[in-house]
């Protein structure tokens, strides 16, 4: 792996970039955290924002002018960005909650009429492009989207990934490719679309029952797809699809075409065609390729809805996967207790947590990879919401404090994501109070019953209420959708105070969502408890169908950190019932020290 550029190398690259900007008469360049598929985790080729700035968070926007350079990012990454940008001339531009497009306002206010902003349309989302164009047009500022200035200055820019594509087959794929295609085509027909273009990688992977390894942590591959009423074209790099898989695709009337031909295929659509695209999931570059004569219908990809609603068979596989994942965590936490007690070896480090938790999962059947980079933060590092320990910067786990561990795995039968907090040494009353308030938030949301179709952002306050009541708050969403051996973050549902409660965010049976409130005290500690839950039908009354949650995650919540005076009797019952379920489900999968740890941590309180 190539070493990341040093601060001086980044400064030289920025100077070279500014020289190219001057030659091209560009006054500002915008580099989003995006690829042609608007992915969360990016292949190396499109990590230009990180390469230029040194900021490694998954969300951020880089802007440079002749005299200024800055990275815009939200509260989850402020502490991390301050550390990673230190010593450079790149400013951290803090985005408050709910103001993710603040950098557009900055561009409009900082540039003058007649000046030019450049951004590569191939990595700029269509919805964002429209907002940007409108804001700049009002100020007489020119928007140029036809060039990728990074290509001239990024020596050694990574090539496209070459990992092979493979099938997600039965029994784990409970619905055939043909049936999924038929479902999406029925949705196309309902809105009168004769063509449907998809760029979102997890939608494509789900729809064609294929998986890959082109993106870290998410088992997807680079591709675009164009659907017709009776056939489909999958645009994927030559050589990535094995011959036997290609033949099975052909039997389902799916043809392969080179990855780079997707834009040309859109350009060839003619008058009379009705094209369905999702404006939040297609780039401005792809949209611009469509001829004016083609009627375009904009709506959420039908596959996004279908993918979010797991089948009963999928849910069964996820339950089995949670047992394996929970057993792996029992083994890990049993190891951690022994390691912490072994004073002869010196303290374990945050890096050791990542190594051993991944190793425990890797021993489990069906495991493929981590579902995201493990967050293991001790004391102050736990207050950094997206902290990542490195060889150059990590903490030893010793003394008194709290260890926050957020981790997950990709299995053939599901995707896991869990956060637990472990007391190290002696815990303070303030730490126990924070932990118990967070647990109360988890219980409040996990126990909720709500009408089917409730917009998911409306549920956010249920988890925050106990935390708010004590004068606390946290700066991230409470829950995100989770894929089925797919992206650990998916939609359309989002339990977040900053998400709009739009119709497409409605909660439906079969959706899997995280529940993860927290309290973070910068410089001291961070607490987050996270489980995954499944939407299920609870009852039908004269007011309609109501849903509730089945908690899927199986791992004890550390009772050593509880302030029992803050818990009501029903909350104590919820925790005891949860631990009884965890013990019953995991006991057949563990023995020895792991079984002893499980029994100890699931005792009734």
- Report the phi/psi class of residue 435: left, alpha or beta, with left for phi > 0 and alpha for psi in -120 to 50: alpha
**Is the confidence at residue 77, as pLDDT, over 60?**
yes
Report pLDDT digits (tens) over 266-316.
Answer: 999 999 999 999 999 999 999 999 999 999 999 999 999 999 999 999 999
β-pairing, 195-198 with 525-528?
Answer: unpaired
* CB of 63 closer than 8 Å to CB of 395: no
Of the pLDDT bands very low, low, confident and very high (cuts 50, 70, 90), residue 236 is: very high
| Tokens found for residue 95 | 């985005």
Strand ranges (E), 90-219:
91-95, 116-118, 142-144, 166-167, 195-198, 210-211
Cα 186 to Cα 195: distance, rounded to the nearest angstrom:
12
* CB of 155 closer than 8 Å to CB of 2: no
What architecture is the 7-153 domain classified under in CATH? 3-Layer(aba) Sandwich (3.40)
Q: Residue 414: what are its φ and ψ, rounded to 5°?
A: 150, 175
Q: How much is the mean pLDDT over the chain?
A: 95
Looking at the whole model, is its pTM more than 0.75?
A: yes
HSE on the CB side for 473, CA within 13 Å? Answer: 5
- Cα dihedral across residues 255, 258, 262, 263: positive or negative: negative
Range(s) within the chain of domains with CATH label 3.40.350.10: 7-153, 166-307
Report pLDDT digits (tens) over 574-588.
Answer: 999 999 999 999 999
Give the per-residue pLDDT at 100. Answer: 67
CB neighbours of 412 closer than 8 A, spacing ≥ 6? 168, 172, 366, 368, 485
CB neighbours of 138 closer than 8 A, spacing ≥ 6? 108
Strand ranges (E), 367-432:
367-370, 375-378, 401-407, 409-411, 414-415, 418-424
CB neighbours of 189 closer than 8 A, spacing ≥ 6? 229
Exposure string of 285-308, with b = 16+ CB inside 10 Å and e = fewer, is bbbbbbeeebbbeebbbbbbbbbb
Report pLDDT digits (tens) over 468-498.
Answer: 999 999 989 999 999 999 999 999 999 999 8
Report pLDDT digits (tens) over 108-135.
Answer: 999 999 999 999 999 999 999 999 999 9
| Tokens found for residue 75 | 């509260």
Average pLDDT of the residues in 168-197? 96
Give the per-residue pLDDT at 436. Answer: 98
Q: Is the preceding omega at residue 186 within 30 degrees of 0, hence cis?
A: no
The CATH class of 309-599 is alpha beta
Give the per-residue pLDDT at 1. Answer: 43
The three-class DSSP label of residue 550 is strand
Task: Compute the C-alpha angle 58/62/63, nearest 5°.
Answer: 165
Give the per-residue pLDDT at 76. Answer: 78
User: What are 377's strand-pairing partners?
Assistant: 404
Average pLDDT of the residues in 26-55? 94
Average pLDDT of the residues in 522-541? 97
Of the pLDDT bands very low, low, confident and very high (cuts 50, 70, 90), residue 178 is: very high
Of the pLDDT bands very low, low, confident and very high (cuts 50, 70, 90), residue 181 is: very high
Give the per-residue pLDDT at 83. Answer: 86
Range(s) within the chain of domains with CATH label 3.90.230.10: 309-599
Give the per-residue pLDDT at 97. Answer: 66
Angle at which helix 569-586 crosses helix 312-341, to 10 degrees, equals: 90
Report pLDDT digits (tens) over 388-402.
Answer: 888 888 999 999 999
What is the DSSP secondary structure assignment for residue 560, as one 8-state letter?
G
The CATH class of 166-307 is alpha beta
**Is the confidence at residue 69, as pLDDT, over 60?**
yes
């Amino acid at each position: 792996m190539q070493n990341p550029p040093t601060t001086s190398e980044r400064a030289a690259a920025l100077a070279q970039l500014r020289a190219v900007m001057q030659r091209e008469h560009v006054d500002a360049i915008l580099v989003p955290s995006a690829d042609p598929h608007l992915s969360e985790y990016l292949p190396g080729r499109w990590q230009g924002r990180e390469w230029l700035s040194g900021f490694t968070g998954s969300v951020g926007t880089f802007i440079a002018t002749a005299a200024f350079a800055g990275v815009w990012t939200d509260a989850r990454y402020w502490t991390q960005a301050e550390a990673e940008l230190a010593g450079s001339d790149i400013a951290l531009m803090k985005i408050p909650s709910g103001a993710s497009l603040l950098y557009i306002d900055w561009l409009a206010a900082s540039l003058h009429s007649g000046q030019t902003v450049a951004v590569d349309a191939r990595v700029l989302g269509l919805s964002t492009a429209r907002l940007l164009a409108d804001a700049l047009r009002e100020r007489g500022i020119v928007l140029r989207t036809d060039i990728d200035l990074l290509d001239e200055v990024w020596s050694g820019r990574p090539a496209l990934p070459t990992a092979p594509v493979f099938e997600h087959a039965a029994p784990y794929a409970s619905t055939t490719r043909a049936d999924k295609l038929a479902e999406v085509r029925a949705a196309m027909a309902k809105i009168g679309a004769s063509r449907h273009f998809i760029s979102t990688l997890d939608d494509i992977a789900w729809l064609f029952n294929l998986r890959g390894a082109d993106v870290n942590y998410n088992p997807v591959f680079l591709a675009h797809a164009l659907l017709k009423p009776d056939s489909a074209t999958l645009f994927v790099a030559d050589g990535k699809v094995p011959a036997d898989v290609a033949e099975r695709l052909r039997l389902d009337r799916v043809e392969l075409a080179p990855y780079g031909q997707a834009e040309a295929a859109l350009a060839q659509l003619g008058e009379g065609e009705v094209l369905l695209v999702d404006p939040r999931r297609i780039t401005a570059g792809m949209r611009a390729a469509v001829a004016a004569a083609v009627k375009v219908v904009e709506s959420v990809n039908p596959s996004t809805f279908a993918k979010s609603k797991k089948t009963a068979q999928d849910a069964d596989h996820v339950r089995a996967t949670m047992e394996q994942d929970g057993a792996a965590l029992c083994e890990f936490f049993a190891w951690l207790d022994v390691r912490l007690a072994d004073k002869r070896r010196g303290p374990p480090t945050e890096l050791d947590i990542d190594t051993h938790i991944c190793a425990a999962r890797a021993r489990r059947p069906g495991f493929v990879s981590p579902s995201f980079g493990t967050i293991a933060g001790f004391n102050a590092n736990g207050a950094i919401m997206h902290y990542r320990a490195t060889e150059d910067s990590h903490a030893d786990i010793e003394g008194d404090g709290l260890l926050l561990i957020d981790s997950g795995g990709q299995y053939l039968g599901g995707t896991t994501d869990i956060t637990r907090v472990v007391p190290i040494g002696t815990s303070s009353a303030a730490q126990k109070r924070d932990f118990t308030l967070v647990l109360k938030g988890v219980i409040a949301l996990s126990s909720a019953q709500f009408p089917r179709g409730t917009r998911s952002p409306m549920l956010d306050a249920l988890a925050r209420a106990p935390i708010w009541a004590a004068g606390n708050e946290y700066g991230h969403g409470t829950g995100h959708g989770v894929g089925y051996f797919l992206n650990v973050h998916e939609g359309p549902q989002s339990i977040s105070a900053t998400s709009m409660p739009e119709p497409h965010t409605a909660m439906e049976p079969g959706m899997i969502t995280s529940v993860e409130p927290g309290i973070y005290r910068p410089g001291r500690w961070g607490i987050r408890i996270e489980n995954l839950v499944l939407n299920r039908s609870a009852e039908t009354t004269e007011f309609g169908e109501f849903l509730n949650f089945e908690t899927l995650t199986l791992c004890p919540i550390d009772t050593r950190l509880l302030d029992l005076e803050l818990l009501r009797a029903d909350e104590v019952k919820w925790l005891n019932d949860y631990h009884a379920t965890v013990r019953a489900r995991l006991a057949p999968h563990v023995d020895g020290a792991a079984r002893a740890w499980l029994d100890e941590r699931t005792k009734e309180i």
